[in-house]
Amino acid sequence: MKRGARLVLVMLSAGPLAAVAQPGGAPLDDTALQGMRLFNQSCRVCHTRPQMTSPQYAPVLSRASLGGQEAALRGFIANGSPRMPGFKHHFKPAQIDAIVAYIKTIPQAAD
């Protein structure tokens, strides 16, 4: 067996994807993992610090965002604001819940 094929086999047998975790945090459950995927597809472009010289458009999100209130996070994601589009027509309520579950796993950045 080729080395690359063995590596893939080992990675696939290592366990479920739920073993993915935030730095210094517990493994993500299935809901938070789905939320991470949705966040990466639709939110990361504005809500993460850029690696290059491009500007950051929106605040970095963490479990402390909007006071850590899950209902407030859900409402903000669904309805948006003057500076952010609402996603209630893009995501199903369960998907918004998954994004909130993921945000609740992100540690607050030390400034």
Query: Each residue of 65-83: pLDDT tens digit?
Result: 999 999 999 999 999 999 9
Question: Is the pLDDT confidence value at 49 over 90?
Answer: no
Structure tokens at 6: 């063995």
* CA angle at 67 for the pair 58 and 111, rounded to the nearest 5°: 55
Q: What are phi and psi of 20, to 5 degrees?
A: -65, 140
* Element housing 74 (H / E): helix 70-79
Distance CA 45, CA 49 (A): 9
Comparing 72 with 25, the larger pLDDT belongs to 72
pLDDT value of position 54:
73
| pLDDT: which is higher, 109 or 44 | 44
Q: What is the pTM of this model?
A: 0.74
**Which is higher by pLDDT, 24 or 60?**
60
- Please list the residues that pair with 21 across neighbouring strands: 27
Report the CATH fold assignment for 17-103: Cytochrome Bc1 Complex; Chain D, domain 2 (1.10.760)
- Residue 109, pLDDT score: 79
The rounded mean pLDDT for the chain is 81
Average pLDDT over residues 80-101: 97
- pLDDT value for 17: 39
